[in-house]
């Protein structure tokens, strides 16, 4: 079976929506999305990989079709996101798997790897950062909120949740923007417009500082366990710059680094090219 199946898993009372394709007995690849999107960002990648791999893409809590409990009932932190997705892998029965991480998916997946290194077969990072030199000046307003979490600094971040900013994230750094379908950012904006979604995302902006604080732990994991590692990077990303991709080779000298002439959402323009690189990488480093 290579057709995409759309399911929900009950993760300790939280409904986590996920897309799944590929043979159920094939090596598992877990796709973790970023801000402000969901598993639909993998709509082109999943079919390109599902002939040889069991590809699973859950929506993080508060994103996409997964539950978005109220902030009084769920702490929107990256530690909590990682815990839920870790439990998700247990609920659906994944003992070992490869990781594909993007944006927010990177600190989520790297936290999982630190906690359970024995479960990780290999890692693919698509503009998923783990080094301070990978953060551009575009993070400055969020950094200001980390230093002073005032109402004023929180309110200043609301522009990052606007429909215009979402579309900009998809098109900035893309040489030919006619290749970027409006479907992805239009759906993202729909989810961002839900009641309470803005406060959820502002909470996560604030908590992102805990990911930066954990960078040394992520890097220590890379050095100790040396997972096979591939970075596929939109080199014109306004948030995560190429230096962050190159830095992985400092702790993982054998890491493969591939740059593509596109922006943050590299799969929007280069899904087939990236899929070809992933096929070759996973064929050599799979759990099959």
Asked if 264 is an active-site residue, the reply is: yes
Neighbouring CB atoms inside 10 A of 144's CB total 15
Catalytically annotated residue among 33, 116, 190, 264: 264
Where does the chain have alpha helices with state H?
45-49, 78-91, 105-115, 140-147, 151-156, 163-171, 182-192, 197-225, 242-251, 267-284
Contacting residues for 243 by C-beta, under 8 A, at least 6 apart = 131, 133, 134
Tokens of residue 130, six digits:
């783990």
Straight-line distance from the first to the last Cα atom of the chain, in angstroms, rounded to the nearest whole number: 17
Q: Tokens 């417009």 identify what position?
A: 193
Q: Tokens 């971040």 identify what position?
A: 157
Tokens of residue 254, six digits:
């054998």
> In this structure, are residues 78 and 207 in contact, taking their beta carbons and an 8 Å threshold?
yes
Q: State the catalytic residues.
A: 264
């Amino acid at each position: 079976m290579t057709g995409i199946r759309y399911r929900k898993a009950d993760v300790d009372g939280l409904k986590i929506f996920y897309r799944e394709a590929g043979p159920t007995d094939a090596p598992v690849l877990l796709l973790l999305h970023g801000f402000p999107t969901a598993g639909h960002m993998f709509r082109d990648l999943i079919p390109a990989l599902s002939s040889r791999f069991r590809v699973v893409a859950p929506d993080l809590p508060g994103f996409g079709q997964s539950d978005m409990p109220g902030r009084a009932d769920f702490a929107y932190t990256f530690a909590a996101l990682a815990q839920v997705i870790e439990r998700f892998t247990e609920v659906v029965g994944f003992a070992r798997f490869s990781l594909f991480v993007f944006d927010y998916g990177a600190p989520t997946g790297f936290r999982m790897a630190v906690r359970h290194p024995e479960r990780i077969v290999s890692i693919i990072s698509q503009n998923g950062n783990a080094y301070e030199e990978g953060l551009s000046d575009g993070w400055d307003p969020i950094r200001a909120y980390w230093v002073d979490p005032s109402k004023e600094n929180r309110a200043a971040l609301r522009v990052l949740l606007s429909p215009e900013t979402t579309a900009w994230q998809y098109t900035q750094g893309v040489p030919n923007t006619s290749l970027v379908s409006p479907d992805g950012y239009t759906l993202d904006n729909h989810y961002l417009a839900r009641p309470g979604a803005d406060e959820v995302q502002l909470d996560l902006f604030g908590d992102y500082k805990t990911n930066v604080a954990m960078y040394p732990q992520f890097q220590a994991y890379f050095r100790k366990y040396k997972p096979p590692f591939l970075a596929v990077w939109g080199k014109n990303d306004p948030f995560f710059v190429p230096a962050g991709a190159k830095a992985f080779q400092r702790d993982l000298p054998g890491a493969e680094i591939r740059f593509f002439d596109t922006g943050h959402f590299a799969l929007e323009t280069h899904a087939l090219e990236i899929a070809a690189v992933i096929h070759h990488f996973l064929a050599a480093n799979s759990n099959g």
